Amino acid sequence: MKNNLIACAVQQGCNSGRETNLAYSLQQIEQAAGRNADLVVLPELHLDHYFCQNEDTDWFDLAQPIPAGPACVSLSAAAKAHQVVVVSTIFEKRAPGLYHNTAVVFDKDGSIAGTFRKMHIPDDPGFYEKFYFTPGDLGFKPINTSIGKLGVLICWDQWYPEAARLMALAGAELLIYPTAIGWNPDDDAGEKQRQLDAWITIQRSHAVANGIPLISCNRIGFEAAPDQGSGIDFWGNSFIAGPQGEIIASADHVQDTLLFAELSAERSEQVRRIWPFLRDRRIDEYAGLVKRYLD
């Protein structure tokens, strides 16, 4: 990874329509580049409202092909114009009836350095993603860019230590989680705080366990449910953590934010020397991890 990498997470609302959302994302990329960012991460599915709150076949019209779709063309041009690496998440139309939630990484020259298709797909009230997204089939492989090897995962993937570990074992130098997660407004304050704390804690633990920095980039704002449900209050709280899980930069739950942090490859190296977790793994005893449950 480039030493002294300037990373930027764009925390934004995504409920203003595709043209407005994309224009805002492009504006934020430009502003981040003006502040010397090498890397700009956008929230999960930042082009549109969170359409997975219900099951409706009309929402498949939002999907577009990669790389030929208009969003890829615009984001590629922005990455090239501003000489930054951009991580975006797009509702991908791969073939008729076959759709993915896909992260696309644009390198500084505008080329697509690689893609990652969301592997873990939730199916919960208000998050009916299994209706829309086919589970990813590209594996847990870091994406090589001009600034380093990026371990890009998406939202629900962030709860699984196996995903982070496999990325790290494959050489990822930085974990990146574009995210769309929020509260059910009907939950009480205590439950909301427990959920938020768990979300932050699990991701910080991935940084610690693997000795590499981590970027978690969430959307913000209330989005009403189309079926008169409770809706989702996206909780923001985007953050950037170092290789010991230390919070370097964090956002609140209400503000559009450009979140910056300087990340050091040398620091990751030093942390892995004092905490050699990869060295001491008992790979001879981990066969049970490939089973659903040990009866």
- 39-41 and 5-11 beta bridge pairing: parallel
Of the residues 118, 129, 217, 223, only one is catalytic, namely 118
Whether 14 and 264 have beta carbons less than 8 Å apart is answered as no
Of the residues 8, 14, 44, 149, only one is catalytic, namely 44
User: Which bin fits 83, alpha (ψ -120 to 50), beta or left (φ > 0)?
Assistant: left
Tokens standing for 216? 């978690």
Q: From residue 168, give the alpha-carbon distance in Å to each of 117, 211, 214, 248, 288.
A: 17, 9, 11, 20, 20
Whether 44 sits among the annotated catalytic residues: the reply is yes
Q: At 53, give phi and psi (nearest 5°).
A: -70, -20
Q: How far apart are CA 159 and CA 264, in angstroms?
A: 25
For residue 78, what are the contacts with CB-CB under 8 A and spacing of at least 6?
26, 29, 30, 86, 106
Of the residues 155, 173, 217, 223, only one is catalytic, namely 155
Q: How far apart are CA 119 and CA 140, in angstroms?
A: 8
Tell me how far the alpha carbon of residue 47 is from its chain's centroid: 14
Q: How far apart are CA 122 and CA 101, in angstroms?
A: 12
Whether 155 sits among the annotated catalytic residues: the reply is yes
Whether 80 sits among the annotated catalytic residues: the reply is no
Place of tokens 């990329």: 29
Active site residues: 44, 118, 155
